[in-house]
Structure 1
Amino acid sequence: MAEELSRQLEDILSTYCRESLSDDASALPNGQSHTSELNGLSGERGHDKPDKVNGGDNSNEKEQKKSHEKKKVKGLGELEIRTAYCLLLWNIKTQRLLLAPPVITVFCVGKEITLLMQTLNTLSTPEEKLAGLCKKYAELLEEHRNTQKQMRVLQKKQSQLVQEKDNLRNEHSKAILARSKLESLCRELQRHNRTLKEEGMQRTRLEEEKRKEVTSHFQMTLNDIQAQMEQHNERNASLRQENTELGEKLKKLYEQYKLREEHIDKVVKHKDLQQQLVDAKLHQAQELLKESEERHDREKDFLLKEAVESQRMCELMKQQEVHLKQQLSLYTEKFEEFQTTLSKSNEVFTTFKQEMEKMTKKIKKLEKETAMYRSRWESSNKALLEMADEKAVRDRDFEALQGKVQRLEKLRRALKVERNELNKKVQTLSGPQGVSTGPPGSDPGTDSPSPPPTDSLLEPGSDQTALWISGLYVMEGLTCVLQQQSENLHSHTHTHTHTHTHTHTHTHRQQLQLKSGQSEESGDQ
């Protein structure tokens, strides 16, 4: 509405101004505008003064004055119209006033002009009229300036309001876009909800069908499981009976094993006692050997002192030679008896081997039975490990015995060398008598010395013969020990295939044999 009113007002003013301008153009000869005349009011005063000075009363001058007055009135009317127009535009744009129709505003302006013309007509002189018009013009100028200032302020406010309006329009457009987007999203959500509902219904149907299938399958499996449980119960009952029978068998075997262990413990205790006895005998033999060494040293000194009596001793030694030969024959008979005992021991070994083969057959049968019981295998494995440890210990003992044998060999050689030296000394002392009076069976050209007589064994000076005889006993003991060690090693290789009890008994038997051999050696010494 405000825009339409402003357009109508502009049209009316433009038509009114055109009419006034056409009238002025017809009145003015030079075609000057009303604005130039309005702006040059002060110049007209200068024109009026020379007229007064001249004092001319010509009619042309009067007509010119009248035309000037008309022009002034018209110029004032145009200015007032323009100011009113500006005021109206400002009221329309800022305050949005409800204006009266443009015809009424033009009528008011014309009414003011008529009032101004009436006031001017009341004045008598044109100078007074000019002064009144100047005052009116000054007032209008001030009002015009004030209105321009107000118009600038209002234009700023208008620009701000326009910006706010644009912002509000943009926000409104954004809100509309957002609303349209939200509506589209709501529609999509509704569609999505519908699709989800349909999918949920389909899924529930499928799940119900699957549940029915699963329940039927579960029922079938339950029936199968029940049938299998019945079968397993029957099988478990039979297995329980078998387990009870096997438990009874195991108890019997355990009792037998306990009895065997008790027997083995008794045997071990007996062997320990024998070992203690053998150790005591060995200690005693060592003490005797030390005493014999000391005695040997003393007798050596005594022999050096008794070198003068060597001739008499030579005759006695000849007699002792005969006695020693008799002893040698006895020792050969003992050696043959020892060989017979060895052959008997070999026969015993063969019988023991046959028994071992029988036992291996029995063990094979037992292995078939004990295949179900792996626990026994673990115990036997532990026993084998212990046997391996025992074998390592025995190997160490065997190495120690070998060292002892080597030492005894060295001792035997040293004793033999000493015996040869003593025989040489005896021969040198006896001289040609010993050579001529030698036994019929001896060869004077041989280097082998004759053994000492047997009677000197009981005398304090018979240390050479005692050493010689002890060397023979040591050699016999060493041969026995070596044979026993070879047999022990041979039997030890077979023991790995037998049970733990047989290995213990066999090893204890070997230890007893060794101890008996050592005791025999110590007794002979």
Structure 2
Amino acid sequence: MGSLTTDLVGYYRSLQSVVLGLNGVPKQSQDGGVIATTGTTSETASTDRSEGTSVAQPVAVEIDTVQSETCTSDVSDELSRKLEDILNTYCSTLGGQAEETPELEEAEKCVNNEPLRNGVREIVCRELNGEIDKVVKAVTRVEDPRENGDVPDIKDQKKAPEKKKAKALGKEITLLMQTLNTLSTPEEKLAALCKKYADMLEEHRNAQKQMRLLQKKQTQIVHEKDHLRNEHSRAILARSKLESLCRELQRHNRTLKEEGVQRGREEEEKRKEITSHFQVTLNDIQVQMEHHNERNSLLRQENMELAEKLKKLIEQYELREEHIDKILKHKDLQQELVDAKLQQAQEMLKDAELKHQREKDYLLKETVETQRMCELMKQQEVHMKQQLSLYTEKFEDFQSTLSKSNEVFTTFKQEMEKMAKKIKKLEKETSMYRSRWESSNKALLDMAEEKTLRDKEFESLQVKIQRLEKLCRALQTERNDLNKRVHDLGVQLAQQAGDNKQDGKAEEEGAQSLNKVTQENPILF
């Protein structure tokens, strides 16, 4: 970018020299003399016309000079128009720089409003220097800061925050374990873990929001960078156009110099032929030459002043360039800070996912424990079935001993009462297990798979209850059979009462005892 600015300054100086050549400013030759331009020839021709000389050769000289002046004025107008078009197109690309537009308009007015001097438009305007200098400044604003300096390494900056994150993670784990150890029941631990999980989920969502905001900022910065690159490419195009324009100006200047030299030679030959006619006007010509020398000295002084102003503007431009470099470096540092924050948010997201996985493993362990409890319940159910089988065997023993004595019947009655108590206890245990199952179901609502397993267990328990009901029905049928047998025994005893009157009292006592038993335990009959 520094080479680009130096090239533009060189083009500006060449343009200034070309414009001065077009305006008729005399230049010193290598011998120290002054080369006469088209303006001096036109003035000499005008003096000849004022004196009233009626020579044919001076008239031809006047016609040639007028034609040459019109040609040079047309070419200078075309070149000035091209320069204005380039400046207008380049300044339109930099539409955001509102401070430069009024100065460019003043420069265009200065170029268009300059008077014609000897048929040639003078483009030596003081505001033109400031305009081209500002074009150079606008080009330097597109400079990429990474061309002048290297991007700093970020690996060293990443190590320190990673160590800090590892330490903070270890501290959080130890604090979590301490809080879990303080809790007594697994339900409280599960509630604490759920609360911790909810907090981590909120932190995760906040981190995602921050990450989206940072991504938006990053896209904005990338768009700004692309915009600056586009402006840089436009500046390069403007530079190429200025180069082509300078080449055309140089070619035109060379042609003008060659034409001026040829015309000077022709005029010198013509002057030698008509020296006798112009001896009277030599004094006037000398006065005019002195006037031109004074004018040349004034123009030289103006050129020196312009050169000093140009130096000052170049110094100001260098200071401005340093300030822009500092601003671009600051933007690069901000971009690095945004990248570091984005990486930190990603690491926090990974930590949250790890914690979520750990909590999931813990819940799976709890489900395994609940399954183990269900298996224990199944074993208890098998044990209860065994007890029921034992009770059935005892009931058969009771059926065999019922015919022997009433005392055995009373013992059977007592055993039946005990069975009723045990059944009540079993019902209480089943209600307790149901309450436990409901509590476990409430604790594991969030897990769909565990819910399905619990539903299956509930169905299995219902099947077991149905089996118990079937067993109760079977017992009722057996009870009815026993009632029938007891009734048959009563009938047989009544038949035997007629045969054995002596045993009537015993039968009456047996019947009374049976009635008492039926009244006390109507369920058995």
TM-score under structure 2 normalisation? Answer: 0.24
The structure with more helix, counted as a fraction of residues: 1
Larger C-alpha radius of gyration, 1 or 2?
1
